[in-house]
Amino acid sequence: MTTALITGSTAGIGSAFARRLAGDGHNLVLVARNTERLREQATELHDRHGIEAEVLTADLATDDGIAAVEKRLADRRNPVDLLVNNAGFGNKGQYLEVPMEDELTMLKVHCEAVLRLTSAATESMRERGRGGVVNVASVAAFVPRGTYGASKAWVVQFTQGAAKDLAGSGLRLMALCPGFVRTEFHERAGMGTSNIPKWMWLDADKLVAAALADLARGKTLSIPDPRYKALMGVVKVTPRALLSGVTSRTGRKYGPQ
């Protein structure tokens, strides 16, 4: 039986990954900051699906938290076969409105943690000649959206570059770029969502199913919905100056996961 490690597992997309992978028979390592919620989640998934669910409390905004997950990923006796780097958050406000400390924390979680955990996982996986990594980014990676969009753009570029370097090793790396998903993401960031059209909202469980199918196909980039694929096609041909004007009014305040 294979094992998947999911960061930010107790809510939103991370929780959807946990439900789907447990349902498919994978053992899990669940990573988040809240030990009580992790234990409740582990018990529920074990009782429902008969899988083993390990709890690892870690704050990926800290060096100690990242190091704890690195250590688990490096365990050759209990190897992790799939890493889902899902932990992340948004800051409410435009550039210079957000405290520098919060901006740096975002970069640590979205970039440094993703780099270090992907590296720890793939080093072990490459020795076995198999394994996968899903790094959760966002469609915000493709539009000018301040630190959040820039950090997610880094995740996309890093993941695709690493996938190219590891081609032929038996590993699959993929950047997942969802749009607006009904999760706790916006509520935690204090962001309003009333102005977001209904058609832009995605279901987390369907998103995860599409993402795992893309990973199985060997894709390095997944935009798992026809609506957003079409929207990103428009973005590619839209002048950057026009995109900047639109996202400066809406993107930072109502950014997608």
Active site residues: 148
Are the C-beta atoms of 86 and 211 separated by less than 8 Å? Answer: no
Q: Which residues contact 165 (CB under 8 A, 6 or more apart)?
A: none
Mapped onto helix, strand or coil, the DSSP state of residue 53 is strand
DSSP H stretches of helix in the chain: 12-23, 35-49, 63-73, 100-107, 113-128, 146-165, 185-189, 204-216, 226-237, 240-250
Are the C-beta atoms of 66 and 116 separated by less than 8 Å? Answer: yes
Are the C-beta atoms of 201 and 181 separated by less than 8 Å? Answer: yes
